Amino acid sequence: MAGAPSDGTLTETGLPARGTGRVLLLACGALAHEILALKAANGWDHLDLHCLPANLHLWPDRIPDAVEAAVTAHRSGYDSIFVVYADCGTGGLLQARCDKLGVQMVAGPHCYAFFEGVDNFAAHADTEITAFYLTDFLVRQFDAFVWRPMGFDRHPELIAMMFGNYDRLIYQAQTDDPALDAQARMHAARLGLAYERRFTGYGDLAVALQGVARQQA
């Protein structure tokens, strides 16, 4: 969540004072762990984090309105706001809304692309149209974001219907975690898919946040 500046500078309303170089990262909740790790590793104390619910991805059409509401609620307390979403299934509507609001956002179609690097992902996208991707977050939250929403817990026969044209599960690993690797392998088996692990680290997410941090440093 958004927090007070480390130097204690506040407005009368309790919000961070403008002109102190503070930036609000308005992010998808699915990226919270990664953003906090990057903040801690780089000492980006002037970047505050506010997350919207990760399950907005189940209804992408709701993301632009949710982002606008959050920008409106928080922008008076910050020098700038950076939206840590890619397009995320909004069909360009989120970018249009951010342009209207005068805020920047992460480039790319989705987090799978920016974790791997948008250019790298695009270079082999045509050869991986039968691949299903997971990130660290989705490995941890597989049941909540894949298994139950798709109804596999109640109707396992749907697996063959929905994944019959997929041939592999690619785990884009942000971290080297053997436990997550084991979980991802298990999820692939549950879906009847071959398994591949691809270490991406934080990819273009780190690059984007580095740029934001330098602008306001």
Q: Do the Cβ atoms of 85 and 107 come closer than 8 Å?
A: no
- Which helix (H) or strand (E) element contains residue 123? helix 118-124
Supply the pLDDT for residue 20.
63
Supply the pLDDT for residue 160.
96
- Which helix (H) or strand (E) element contains residue 26? strand 23-28
Instruction: Give me the residue spans of the domains in the chain.
Output: 23-111+203-216, 118-199
CA 37: distance to chain centroid?
13
pLDDT, tens digit, for every residue of 121-147? 999 999 999 999 999 999 999 999 999
What would you report as the CA-atom Rg of the chain, rounded to the nearest whole angstrom? 19
Q: Is the pLDDT of residue 191 over 70?
A: yes
Supply 172's token pair. 């884009």
Supply the pLDDT for residue 188.
98
Q: The pTM is what?
A: 0.87
pLDDT, tens digit, for every residue of 159-185? 999 999 999 999 999 999 999 999 999
- Distance (Å, whole) CA 24 – CA 34: 16
Give backbone dihedrals phi and psi of 194, rounded to 5 degrees, phi first: -65, 155
Q: Do the Cβ atoms of 7 and 172 come closer than 8 Å?
A: no
For the domain made up of 23-111+203-216, give the CATH fold: Rossmann fold (3.40.50)
